[in-house]
Copies of this chain bind each other. A is one copy, B any other.
């Protein structure tokens, strides 16, 4: 408990492997926060590093910044989030990951049987519309008729 060091934007960028412009951007979107020094330059608490790590991990999972922001909103506001807090987040995302994995597995398992067999353009093709778990992607149910065969 000796710090609460103030990191400059350049340092944070270098440590996280992102551009300074990305940090400006995240701040503007409300994902991270900073205060300013005398000369109006941004200064960050160390915990911004973890936030950025989490942002990048989330993106690899296919989670949007909006979603990340929503989740960050549930972190404690008063104190710096601790391991417990982050672990809670991770649990929710694990579930999402599991769903996404299950979805892709279904897609994969349908793929050979499907693209090859001629059913791909038919009404109930499992690949074309495999109980859309990810239906919130906006890919609604698709209506094809039997004429769609070769």
Contact = CB atoms under 8 A, between A and B. Distances in A.
A143 B49 CA distance: 12
A36 interface: no
- Number of this chain's copies in the complex: 2
A14 B104 CA distance: 26
B150 A57 contact: no
13 contacts: A16-B144, A56-B142, A57-B107, A57-B128, A60-B134, A60-B139, A61-B107, A83-B117, A83-B118, A90-B112, A94-B112, A97-B107, A97-B111
**4 A-B pairs closest in CB distance:** A87-B116, A17-B142, A90-B115, A97-B108
Interface of A: 14-17, 46-47, 49-50, 52-54, 56-57, 59-61, 82-84, 86-87, 89-91, 93-94, 97-98, 100-101, 104-105, 107-108, 111-112, 114-118, 120-121, 125, 127-128, 134, 137, 139-145, 147-148, 150
